[in-house]
Structure 1
């Protein structure tokens, strides 16, 4: 019961016993009411003011937040105030928020497939990239239609996206740009077969999807064309994974200050520092021992750039998912979500790594 239930007596209602006036309702000659003969009442207990949620919270725990209950790290379930005679509940341990065993198993499986295809036959790895792009486009367009009623044409996006990857590997950057332009044209024409209502938002989303997924992924194929292409791609993958792992490990253990609470409440500044340190260390090792002509100091700069681009890419997809009101883009990968949930940090990092490697050691 809160203090509001203990109200002052109403001005028009019953005032309680008093010894200043005769008993109301008795005649003029009736006996006077003696307060000493009335049963004594217990004094009203003094209830201290206790905040409902504790601390210095400024926001309403029940207020709606972007994304709602789809985000596990945003759902607030305030615990009831413990009774005075009961001990306070023990603090709960931090949890990863996902099936960690499934996530590790799926990650190892993906790593085996990627490394095997990368070092056995380059063309097979190009096919792996193309399949990942097509699945990612399917997830993205499906979520856009479900949540925002935006119908980005999937067929020209999937065909053009796979063509971008192949063209980038076979014909280089020029081939990728030509494939991108043709894909954009195909999206504009394909959508003309539908009613004109919503044409602008549909083709805009289609052009965004074409750039965001297949075009950025083309830079992985461009890295692969170098003589030491497999080593360059492996460096790109290792640095991105190490950056994400460092951010998770340090943020989970030491994270106290939010990095971007309105976009991704789970990310912390301490986690960003962990991502930078881990990626710089991995970059120094990879550039020194994997890349022909590379040096450790170049790896430090490369790791710093990867940590920044991977974090921004992760925040960028979090912004998209928050706008759509979903937690994951898909459910294809147990413990990870969908393909797009794994590509979020890889896609914007690919052009950064490709460019820095070209500047440091040439195009190969």
Structure 2
């Protein structure tokens, strides 16, 4: 427990400092974090880091993650989405050219993993760069962390009905509701100080979305680990597991709030 708390305090303080600084340093750190997250996903499928299969996965993820100002290269004859689609076609062709050593399952996993990680961290970086981006990032972090804490303590105190026992046996419906309630309370306090939205209806809708989608993201990562029979996604953070274990909620939240027009 002491190791977990110490790691959380040091890593959390350092990460918040980098978010505040923003700029190239923030972009570089998020690039590194995304790369480690992709490495952890590949490891779940027993794909070694320094192999051609892994490189394809990293390349696709980087293609989706890298922010616009860093990828505006005029000599590339394709848009980002077009190049990504071309790579998918190449991956499918490899299932034939490799005589099924590279399988359809490999291709599907690689594409899905790259989208999951790449877009999750792409929109996390994007949010920091918009107007009031720092406040939005802090609000989202507060909502995600409050949801985790509220779900944990409400689940321990009141938890009876299982939320998704086949994926995460310890999570309960009561815990989930407790997480949502604490997130709205903490988010409302933040909004009283920093009114980021024009009205409270939109603000509450935003808080509900982040809290519920964050919990869904946590369950998705739990489903990954259960499917591949691993306890933690990695051991980068002593006492906390891997990068995916810490960023699973954010990776789901960021693309969704972008698609819904909140940012």
Fold shared, TM-score > 0.5 on shorter chain: yes
Please state whether the residue corresponding to 2:67 is helix, strand or coil: helix
Q: 1:155 aligns with which of 52, 55, 73?
A: 55
Correspondence for 2:16: 115
**2: CA distance, partners of 1:152 / 1:353:** 34
**2: CA distance, partners of 1:162 / 1:305:** 27
When residues 283 and 302 of structure 1 are mapped into structure 2, their CA distance, relative to the original with a 3 A threshold, is farther
TM-score with structure 2 setting the length: 0.84
The reply on whether 1:207 has 2:108 as its aligned counterpart is no
The reply on whether 1:340 has 2:240 as its aligned counterpart is no
Q: 2:230 aligns with which of 319, 326, 329?
A: 326
1:141 to partner: Cα distance: 0.5
8 Å CA contact 1:137–1:209 kept in 2: the answer is yes
Correspondence for 2:64: 164
Q: 1:267 aligns with which of 150, 153, 171?
A: 171
Q: Which runs of 5+ in 1 are unaligned?
A: 1-99
Correspondence for 2:123: 219
TM-score with structure 1 setting the length: 0.62
Correspondence for 1:138: 39
**1: CA distance, partners of 2:33 / 2:127:** 17
Q: Deviations over 1:28-67 (max 9, x none)?
A: xxxxxxxxxxxxxxxxxxxxxxxxxxxxxxxxxxxxxxxx
When residues 282 and 352 of structure 1 are mapped into structure 2, their CA distance, relative to the original with a 3 A threshold, is farther
Pairwise CA RMSD: 2.8
When residues 316 and 303 of structure 1 are mapped into structure 2, their CA distance, relative to the original with a 3 A threshold, is same
1:301 to partner: Cα distance: 1.9
- Listed as ranges, the matches of 1:1-364 within 5 Å are 100-145=1-46, 153-168=53-68, 178-179=79-80, 181-183=82-84, 185-186=86-87, 189=90, 192=94, 196-355=100-259, 358-359=261-262
The number of residues matched between the two structures is: 253
**2: CA distance, partners of 1:127 / 1:290:** 28
1:179 to partner: Cα distance: 3.4
**2: CA distance, partners of 1:204 / 1:301:** 34
**1: CA distance, partners of 2:65 / 2:176:** 31
User: Whose radius of gyration is greater, 1 or 2?
Assistant: 1
Taking CA–CA contacts closer than 8 Å with sequence separation of 6 or more, which of the two structures ends up with the larger relative contact order? Answer: 2
Q: Which has the higher helix share?
A: 2
